[in-house]
Amino acid sequence: MRKIGWQLAIAVGGLLLVLGLLLGQTPGPEADLLQPVQGGSYAEALIGRPVRLNPLLDRYNQADRDIDRLIYGSLIRFNSRGEPVPELAEKWAISADATLYNFTLRADVRWHDGEPVTADDVIFTFSKFKEGGLPGDDDLQSLWQEIEIVKLDDRNVQFQLPESYAPFLDYLTVGLLPDHLLRGVSAAELVDHPFNREPIGSGPFKFESFLLSEDGQVSGVSLTGFEQFAPGRPFLERIEFRFFDDSQAALQAFRDGIVDGIGNVTNDILGAVLAEPGLNLYSARAPQTATVFLNNRSTDKPFLAQKEFRQALLLAVNREQIIGAILDGQGLPAASPILPGNWAYVDGLDPLPYDPELAADILTDLGWELPVGVAPGTPEYVRSDGESELSFELAYPQIAPYEQLAAMLQAAWSEIGIRAELTSVPAEQILPELLEPRRFEAVLTEIDTAQLADPDPYPFWHDSQVETGQNYSGYQDRNISIWLEQARTTPDPRRRQALYRDFQYRFRDQVPALLLFHPIYNYAVRAEVRGANIGPIQDPSDRFQQIAQWYVLIRRGFTTTERAG
């Protein structure tokens, strides 16, 4: 279910967490007495426009997902480490073979119209994926068609899988839909149903109205705090989202006092946001990895299958320089297919260093000799083995910043005597024309695991995926395949963590593909809004993980002495 994304996340920038969570004051004895109280409002600028406020239909529209995150409750959510935490579910249990998943709903969960949330709502929601008719990934429908959903009683439901699948919890973070309002509505009918414009959810905020501009166009949406939200009533009384076409307009709206936050601080306004008084910037590693897939099965370029050659390619690339040049420094060098901050990531696993001298020595040891009397940096400075030159084709999508990134890779490899012949390809053709049919030598693109918290590297690196799956590199290693098989069939987190640790160390040694960097996502919030925070994310809407704890109003408490007096 992992996917390729063709545009690097445009939300890059940042600092890790900024100042002023308590009135901008230096913490002291009095700060401990400040207590948040309910009330107040928050307005945020979103780039884009909503289409359908329905969690089954928001996969490809970020504005929809941001709003839906507040309106709809789900069985579980994932925290910043990718660990499942309860929301509407009170508890859950997984069978030893990871084929049965039992969930118990909280007894106090309610829809925004006051009706109780029941097992019928869970069944209605996930049965829509089985029906077909929803726009999206066919693989998602195929997965759900093989799953049985059984009502045990009004608060308990069981998911029965045909085989062991530990990452299944990933697919249960979808916001629930109300069966009592939509019963009998098919998946296909949901697409244009009036419900999508007047949604009823069970999340921390309920839909109030769309906001209209002077010309009658939808310019925003207003939400109000839901007093009966089971995990706890939010402090904020109201949240408004205002819609803008670009980040410059969003920043101006902050300066004009229209909004209190900017949901996507893009690189073009990052410097201005950092200089803006009273605006705090929050940053997190985004769930994307800039990657070069190398065709390990190429008969024309058999050296691509050599571990040492792939190591040399990566050693020759100055990733810090690349991040500085194309991301203004806002990125993290990648060391593993598992994202930093995830529970399965090996802390302290360093990327291969930038060492062009070692890269050159490796190529020489492999029998690739430099031409005599040719100056580095010239077109003729290409190694050969006596029969052929050391060259390959690097394809990349025709969108920024790939053009600049491809040119920087080409220049880095030319310094050690490798010729990379650049070929630009329309972005929409990369997957069907090159990767899926395996008609490439090297492809620069991005692995995008947005909306999927479980690390599960199986689709890209297991040997069963070489012919028709997403193992586009054609890389085969029996040890890696065994570890990935075992990790996705056991629900034991410690066992999975150990297996993924072995996988990551071997991946770093074998270099099946060139992992370059992870971009950074930023958002900004007015300093007077307290409680905002962020960790590693799987989607920009994850900035609202703790939205119920955001507040703008405070009161001063009393010390024990004051109470006694």
Query: Lowest mean pLDDT: which of 13-27, 194-208, 266-280?
Result: 13-27
The answer to whether the bond into 199 is cis (omega within 30° of 0) is no
Query: How much is the average pLDDT of 28-41?
Result: 75
Of the candidates 13, 183, 121, 34, the residue with the CA atom closest to the CA atom of residue 552: 34
pLDDT tens digit string along 174-218?
999 999 999 999 999 999 999 999 999 999 999 999 999 988 899
pLDDT tens digit string along 141-151?
889 999 999 99
List % helix, strand, coil for the chain (3-state, nearest 5): 30, 25, 45
Quick one: pLDDT band at residue 136, thresholds 50, 70, 90?
A: confident
CB 284 within 8 A of CB 537: yes
pLDDT tens digit string along 40-65?
999 999 999 999 999 999 999 999 99
Which 3 state secondary structure label does DSSP give 500?
helix
**Mean pLDDT for the chain overall:** 91
pLDDT tens digit string along 417-449?
999 999 999 999 999 999 999 999 999 999 999
Q: What would you measure as the largest C-alpha separation in the chain, in angstroms?
A: 94
Quick one: pLDDT band at residue 533, thresholds 50, 70, 90?
A: confident
> What is the SS3 assignment for 304-343?
HHCHHHHHHHHHCCCHHHHHHHHHCCCEEECCCCCCCCCC
| Phi, psi of 449, rounded to the nearest 5 degrees | -110, 30
CB 325 within 8 A of CB 519: no
Range list of H helices, 221-317: 247-255, 270-275, 307-315
Quick one: pLDDT band at residue 24, thresholds 50, 70, 90?
A: very low
| 470 against 27, higher pLDDT | 470
Asked whether residue 25 carries a pLDDT value surpassing 70, the answer given is no
Q: What is the DSSP letter of 12?
A: -
Considering the entire predicted model, what is its pTM? Answer: 0.89
Q: What is the pLDDT of residue 557?
A: 66
How far apart are the C-alpha atoms of 305 and 283, rounded to whole Å?
37
How far apart are the C-alpha atoms of 530 and 517, rounded to whole Å?
31
pLDDT tens digit string along 354-393?
999 999 999 999 999 999 999 887 889 999 998 899 999 9
| Phi, psi of 223, rounded to the nearest 5 degrees | -125, 150
CB 234 within 8 A of CB 226: yes
Q: Which residues contact 14 (CB under 8 A, 6 or more apart)?
A: 265, 270, 281, 283, 330, 520, 522
Q: What is the DSSP letter of 381?
A: -
How many CB atoms lie under 10 A from the CB of residue 469? 15
Quick one: pLDDT band at residue 558, thresholds 50, 70, 90?
A: low
Quick one: pLDDT band at residue 13, thresholds 50, 70, 90?
A: very low
For residue 37, CA distances in Å to 234, 534, 548 come to: 10, 22, 12
How far apart are the C-alpha atoms of 352 and 318, rounded to whole Å?
10
